[in-house]
């Protein structure tokens, strides 16, 4: 790799991003064909980077694949015509929403992105999602408008209509980019105002006069320039392409072609070749639309570009005409063999003409070199944002040698090594280059014969009698590789997928793995950092070529590579560090190399796993293999969670149904290699209560609804708790700021849990994901949370005014939308706000004679009740509990302490509070909340009715439908319960004969407005439905199915209609 890429300036690292089926892998085939890795004839058909069997069967990419390509690029004619060698590291990513975590891991390693858009389908949901990912990771995007052939062959548009269609599409893409820019600008503006107010306050203190302070503050808000974020063909960041036919061009290609013919400067022509510019036939000058004077002229782009492409399609595919084709080939000065011209395969002829005329690979590589910055330039922009995400200065200067090396992508021997591993992936041991049988070439066989002959001749000359056993030692080595491959056939090796930001990494050197939870503010030998800093030996370095790996001895800065030796040390991502290219010196203490340790951080996941399945082996004795296989799977797939439930079940969490299928296939065939039984998917629900019109009488007479009085054993502790639904304004605020609340809680616990905090945080965050929470972008920062909450409480009015100081706890898991409020009149309230500010644990302020404090047990009971609600033991959402009184019989408690039975008292307090909270919820009108998918379906008009039928059958509802302009396609947006979604994609494909396929994205929870305990009671209902209530209660059905799965009591009638006789004969 050293010899191939002498200069980091000539390296580019890019990824392909786009919606599913928009042609990313087909585009990669064209680039691979240009590097002679695959045949030109097979490009587009082979899909070389879809190396898995199921990827080829389904026709979609499921895992990101990397490939390093080498291109010779000639200099521009006006400059010196010397050729340069460029190395382009490319990563092909999946477009399906289930595998969007693969996109996150890939984009973190790249500097630029090819954003592919199907010209007919236009901007889809995943297009916007991947554009947002590129925006967040500071990638330089190139828009590739793919499948241009569909405009001619399918939609049969004329060039002028096609031009209008293309300009609308570019406008839509720019609207998406403009939206991202506007939101960032608003954040910057708010941040600047806060910073200015803070500075003014400081100056006011110093100068003691506000007017003077404002006069001295001359700092104005500098708006960012949004000019370079948009896609504009004249700026060279838009490629028009048809990957299946192997052609692509930028406006510059045609500007170069026509500049000599028309006598214009190339730069001037490039500026006017896209847009509403026209060629005046009389004056031969370019005019704008203002000077048309009613003449029906065609835009330059239509006249010089599209009409020529349409002419080729017309002559070859639409109305085959051999003479026309020959004329076109002669006019374009192409070298095409006569047998190819006579070919009956019109697509092949089309591909041959276009590959020579408008080569897709040349266009993409030229665009990449022009638009995407080289690693030294890109890292100067991207690395400061990674290291200091909360610093918003335009230029951040390096603070030490390590940052200097990082910002400049320094690959000198004395430069510090910093590499970032974005994901781990599994490879069969037999696929590693060192374990493969090497094919012996003909030259090597001849050489062996010569060597053997020479050996015989020399032995004959030494002694009269030749010694036959001389050849014997050569036989064992030839057998050994075969034996080795049999040994390796069964095992999987975990490799890291990484990018080297600075230094030169060599095989055999020792490096430090800095895990994501490493805190640079503490020394490396600090108790909090010891577990997150692990030395590892580089056992192997590989260049990735799709499914193949090529072994190399060293890797230089600016390249992507695979690394062996991190298995068992790195879980998913890490930063690899060493002071210089020889690695960490032997016996060096971590403190000695502290200056070269840095933590670049973790990858943010865009999709939370929601589909949960319990697994067990068919043969029980295979359980250890299954557990080991699940560990490997969790490490090799960035979007899988595996854990053991409290019930003992081994559970796997995946992003969707397709993702689940792939994971089960991998477990059976690669990781566990045992037969597995999977349960039906376990879908999360939420429980809540609402104020309905006709509710049953309150459980506690002469008290407000929801009031429950409870007591511990022997009535030693009595309490009164009142439940009420949380007002919608507060509920939405809490749901949107769950991450802020969690951060507040963790910061509050930091000082207490010096040693255990890292483990606690990991397990808690995993449990949060297990519950299926949807985490929104917070609307307020941690320091503003309580003030904002107070505003919302005052907005809700009534008893909620000024209640934020009385909030005792949130639940479930201390960070949810349920609230425990200390509403006692005779004591100082237990305030979580004050507790977090003072940074100490909960304490009761109640000064009574007994030493036992029961408030902690009341909170525990609340947390238990919120984690497992009364309907089907699912988490509760949107309930508030007002603790109105807690009375303790001090003498009785002292007697229990003497008899050593205090644990029974505290246990009974927890149980009583838990039951009281559950009964309080049931006192209102209980409801289930369903996990909901937002579903986007693209379908043509003829199958629209069938799509609606499938959605309605699965209790979904259509939210919106809009027709794509200029096409017969509709984009249908629907909401579908997750519990009804299994088999939905297959069902919709079968009904529409494959003409429509849905994209399902988890979007949160929605109330199912039906009481699970409802039975007909009024005369009208009884007359309508009868005593048996023949219409099924949907909510009760869902509730009973969850209760049955969890082994809870289900109130189900075994005999439904006893009076109806059933005979076997019928």
DSSP readout, 783-845?
GGHHHHHHHHHHHH-GGGTT-GGGEEEEESTTSSSEEEEE--SSS----HHHHHHHT------
Q: Is 322 helix (H, G, I), strand (E, B) or coil?
A: helix
- Under DSSP, the state recorded for 410 is -
**pLDDT band at 1065, cuts 50/70/90?**
low
Mean pLDDT for 3-25 is 84
Give the confidence band of 361 by pLDDT, cuts at 50, 70, 90. Answer: very high
How confident is residue 745, by pLDDT bands cut at 50, 70 and 90? confident
- Of 972 and 467, more confident: 972
- Whether 1030 shows a pLDDT value over 60: the answer reads no
Cα three-residue angle 1061-1064-1066, rounded to 5 degrees = 80
What mean pLDDT comes out for the span 675-692? Answer: 92
Give the phi and the psi of residue 183 in degrees, each rounded to 5.
-65, -40
pLDDT beyond 50 at 45: yes
pLDDT of residue 759 exceeding 50, the answer is no
- The pLDDT, as a whole number, for residue 8 is 84
Across the chain, mean pLDDT equals 84
pLDDT the model gives residue 368: 95
Residue 766 pLDDT: 37
Mean pLDDT of the 855-871 span: 93
pLDDT of residue 159: 95
All residues at 6 or more sequence positions from 462 whose CB lies less than 8 Å from its CB, including other chains: none
Q: What is the pLDDT of residues 954-983, one digit of tens each?
A: 999 999 998 887 778 889 999 999 999 999
Task: Find residue 933's DSSP bridge partners.
Answer: 976, 1002
**Closest listed residue to residue 642, CA positions, set 574, 575, 571:** 571
> Residue 938: which of 19, 17, 18, 16 has the closest Cα?
19
- Position 763 scores a pLDDT of 33
Residue 395 has pLDDT above 80, yes or no: no
Cβ(889)–Cβ(839) under 8 Å? no
The answer to whether 879 and 826 are in contact (CB under 8 A) is: no
* Structure token digits, residue 629: 């296989």
Please, what is the end-to-end C-alpha distance for the chain in angstroms? Answer: 79
Determine which of 328-342, 583-597, 792-806, 952-966 has the lowest per-residue pLDDT on average: 583-597
- Among 57-71, 544-558, 571-585, 588-602, the minimum mean pLDDT is found in 588-602
Q: What is the pLDDT of residue 191?
A: 80
What's the rounded mean pLDDT across residues 904-926?
A: 93
User: Radius of gyration of the chain from Cα atoms?
Assistant: 34
Instruction: In whole angstroms, give the CA distance from residue 792 to residue 731.
Output: 9
The proportion of the chain whose per-residue pLDDT surpasses 70, expressed as a percent, equals 88
pLDDT(514) > 70: yes
User: What proportion of the chain, given as a percentage, has pLDDT over 90?
Assistant: 42
Confirm whether pTM is higher than 0.75.
yes
Section 708-728 average pLDDT: 92
**Residue bearing the bigger pLDDT, 848 or 563:** 563
Give CA–CA dist 363/368, Å, rounded: 9
Rounded distance between C-alpha atoms, residue 40 and residue 37, angstroms: 9
**SS percent in the chain: helix, strand, coil, step 5:** 40, 20, 35
The reported pLDDT for the residue numbered 453 is: 87
* Section 601-609 average pLDDT: 66
Question: Which of 254-258, 333-337, 541-545, 825-829 comes out lowest in average pLDDT?
Answer: 825-829
Q: What pairs with residue 92 in β-bridges?
A: 16, 65
- Is the separation of the CB atoms in 829 and 806 below 8 Å? yes
Q: Out of 6-15, 188-197, 468-477, which region has the weakest mean confidence (pLDDT)?
A: 468-477
Looking at residues 839-845, what average pLDDT do you find? 48
Q: How confident is the model at residue 909 (pLDDT cuts 50, 70, 90)?
A: very high
Range from 238-252, 635-649, 671-685 carrying the lowest mean pLDDT? 635-649
CA distance linking residue 424 with residue 407, whole number of Å: 25
**What confidence score (pLDDT) does residue 1032 get?**
74
- Asked if residue 939 has pLDDT above 70, the reply is yes
Q: Kindly list the distances between the CA atom of residue 115 and the CA atoms of 13, 47, 123, 128, 364, in Å, as whole numbers in the listed order.
A: 14, 18, 11, 10, 12
Helix (H) or strand (E) holding 84: strand 83-92
User: What's residue 333's pLDDT?
Assistant: 87
The token pair at 397 is 């200067």
HEC string of 508-557 equals: CCEEEEECCCCCCCCCCCCCCCHHHEEEEECCEEEEEECCEEEEECEEEC
Looking at residue 100, its pLDDT comes to 87
Q: Please, where are the H alpha helices in 295-345?
A: 300, 307-313, 322-332, 338-341
Q: What is the pLDDT of residue 510?
A: 92
What residues contact 749, with CB distance under 8 A and at least 6 apart?
A: 757, 760
pLDDT of residue 767 exceeding 70, the answer is: no
Q: Which residues pair with 555 in a beta bridge?
A: 505
CA–CA gap between residue 282 and residue 285 (Å, rounded): 8
Please report where in the chains the tokens 């010694």 appear, as a residue: 467
Local confidence band at 78 (pLDDT 50, 70, 90 cut-offs) = low
Taking residues 904-921, what's their average pLDDT?
94
Count of alpha carbons within 13 angstroms of residue 1026, beta-carbon side: 6
> What is the per-residue pLDDT across 235-248, written as a single tens digit (0 to 9) for each?
999 999 999 999 99
> Which pLDDT value is given to residue 617?
95
Predicted pLDDT of residue 831: 87
């Amino acid at each position: 790799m050293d010899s191939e890429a002498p200069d980091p300036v000539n390296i580019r690292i890019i990824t392909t991003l786009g919606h599913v089926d928009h042609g990313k892998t087909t585009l990669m085939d064209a680039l691979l064909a240009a590097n002679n890795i695959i045949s030109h004839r097979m490009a587009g058909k082979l899909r070389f980077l879809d190396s898995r069997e199921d990827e080829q069967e389904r026709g979609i990419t499921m895992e990101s694949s990397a490939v390093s390509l080498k291109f010779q690029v000639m200099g521009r004619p006006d400059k010196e015509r010397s050729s340069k060698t460029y190395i382009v590291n490319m990563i092909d990513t999946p477009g399906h929403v289930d595998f969007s975590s693969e996109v996150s891991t890939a984009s973190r390693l790249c500097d630029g992105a090819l954003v592919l858009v199907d010209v007919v389908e236009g901007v889809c949901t995943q297009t916007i999602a991947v554009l947002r990912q590129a925006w967040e990771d500071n990638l330089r995007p190139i828009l590739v408008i793919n499948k241009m052939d569909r405009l001619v062959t399918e939609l049969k548009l004329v060039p002028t209509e096609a031009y209008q269609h293309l300009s609308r599409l570019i406008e839509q893409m720019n609207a998406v980019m403009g939206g991202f820019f506007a939101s960032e600008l608003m954040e910057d503006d708010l941040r600047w105002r806060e910073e200015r107010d803070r500075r003014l306050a400081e100056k006011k203190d110093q100068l003691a006069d506000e007017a003077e302070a404002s006069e001295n503050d001359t700092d104005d808000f500098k708006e960012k320039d949004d000019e370079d974020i948009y896609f504009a063909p004249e700026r060279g960041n838009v490629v028009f392409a048809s990957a299946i036919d192997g052609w692509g061009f930028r406006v510059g290609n045609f500007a170069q072609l026509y500049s000599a013919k028309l006598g214009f400067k190339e730069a001037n022509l490039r500026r006017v070749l896209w847009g509403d510019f026209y060629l005046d036939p009389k004056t031969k000058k370019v005019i704008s639309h203002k000077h048309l004077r009613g003449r029906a002229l065609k835009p330059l782009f239509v006249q010089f570009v599209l009409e020529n492409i349409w002419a080729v399609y017309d002559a070859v595919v639409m109305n085959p005409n051999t003479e026309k084709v020959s004329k076109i080939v002669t006019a374009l000065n192409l070298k095409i063999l006569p047998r190819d011209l006579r070919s009956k395969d019109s697509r092949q002829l089309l591909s041959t003409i276009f590959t020579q005329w408008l080569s897709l690979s040349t266009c993409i590589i030229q665009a990449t070199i022009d638009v995407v910055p080289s690693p030294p330039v890109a890292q100067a922009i991207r690395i400061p944002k990674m290291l200091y995400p909360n610093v918003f200065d335009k230029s951040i200067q390096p603070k030490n040698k390590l940052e200097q090396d990082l910002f400049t992508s320094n690959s000198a021997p004395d430069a510090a090594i910093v590499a970032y591993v974005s994901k781990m992936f599994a490879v069969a041991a037999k696929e590693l280059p060192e374990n493969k049988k090497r094919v012996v070439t003909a030259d090597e066989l001849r050489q062996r014969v010569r060597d053997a002959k020479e050996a015989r001749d020399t032995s004959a000359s030494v002694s009269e009698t030749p010694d036959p056993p001389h050849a014997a030692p050569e036989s064992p080595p030839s057998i050994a590789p075969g034996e080795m491959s049999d040994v390796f056939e069964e095992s999987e090796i975990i490799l890291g997928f990484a990018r080297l930001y600075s230094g030169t990494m060599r095989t055999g050197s020792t490096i430090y793995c800095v895990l994501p939870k490493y805190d640079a503010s503490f020394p490396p030998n600090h108790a909090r950092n010891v577990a997150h800093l692990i030395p590892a030996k580089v056992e192997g370095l590989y260049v990735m070529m799709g499914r193949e790996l090529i072994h190399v001895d060293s890797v230089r800065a600016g390249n992507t590579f695979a690394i062996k030796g991190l298995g068992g040390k790195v879980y998913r991502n890490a930063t690899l560090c060493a002071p210089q290219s020889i690695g960490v010196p032997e016996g060096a203490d971590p403190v000695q190399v502290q200056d070269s340790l840095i933590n670049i951080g973790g990858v943010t996941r865009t999709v939370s796993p929601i589909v949960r399945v319990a697994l067990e082996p068919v043969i029980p004795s295979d359980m250890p293999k299954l557990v080991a296989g699940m560990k490997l799977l969790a490490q090799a797939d960035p979007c899988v969670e595996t854990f053991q439930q409290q019930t003992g079940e081994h559970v796997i969490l995946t992003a969707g149904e397709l993702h689940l299928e792939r994971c089960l296939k991998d477990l059976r065939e690669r990781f566990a290699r045992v037969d597995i039984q999977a349960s039906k998917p376990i879908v999360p629900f939420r429980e809540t209560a609402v104020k309905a019109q006709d509710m049953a009488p309150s459980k506690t007479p002469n008290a407000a609804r929801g009031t429950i009085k409870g007591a511990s054993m022997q009535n030693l502790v009595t309490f009164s708790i009142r439940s009420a639904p949380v007002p919608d304004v507060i509920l939405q605020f809490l749901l949107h700021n769950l991450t802020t609340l969690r951060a507040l809680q963790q910061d509050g616990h930091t000082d207490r849990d010096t040693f255990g905090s890292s483990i606690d945080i990991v397990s808690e965050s995993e449990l949060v994901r297990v519950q299926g929470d949807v985490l929104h972008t917070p609307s307020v920062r941690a320091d503003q949370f309580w003030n904002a909450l107070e505003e919302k409480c005052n907005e809700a009015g009534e008893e909620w005014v000024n209640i934020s100081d009385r909030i005792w706890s949130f639940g479930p898991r201390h960070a949810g939308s349920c609230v425990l409020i200390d509403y006692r009149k005779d004591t100082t309230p237990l305030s979580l706000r004050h507790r977090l500010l003072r940074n100490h644990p909960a304490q009761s302020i109640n000064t009574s004679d007994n030493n036992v404090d029961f408030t902690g047990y009341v909170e525990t009971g609340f947390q238990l009740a919120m984690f497992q609600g009364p309907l089907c033991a699912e988490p509760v959402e949107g309930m508030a509990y007002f603790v109105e009184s807690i009375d303790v019989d001090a003498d009785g408690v002292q007697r229990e302490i003497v008899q050593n039975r205090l644990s029974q008292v505290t246990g009974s307090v927890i149980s009583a509070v838990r039951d009281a909270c559950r009964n309080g919820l049931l006192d209102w009108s209980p409801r289930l909340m369903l996990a909901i998918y937002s579903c986007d379906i693209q379908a043509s008009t003829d199958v629209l009715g069938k799509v609606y039928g499938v959605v309605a059958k699965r209790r979904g509802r259509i939210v919106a439908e809009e027709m794509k302009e200029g096409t017969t396609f509709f984009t249908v947006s629907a909401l579908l319960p997750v519990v009804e979604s299994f088999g939905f994609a297959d069902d919709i494909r079968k009904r529409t004969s494959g003409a429509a396929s849905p994209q399902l994205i988890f979007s949160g929870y929605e109330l199912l407005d039906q009481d699970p305990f409802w039975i007909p009671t009024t005369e009208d209902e009884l007359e309508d439905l009868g005593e048996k209530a023949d219409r099924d209660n949907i909510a009760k059905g869902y509730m009973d199915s969850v209760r049955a799965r969890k082994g809870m009591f289900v109130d189900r009638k075994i005999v439904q209609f006893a009076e109806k006789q059933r005979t076997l004969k019928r």
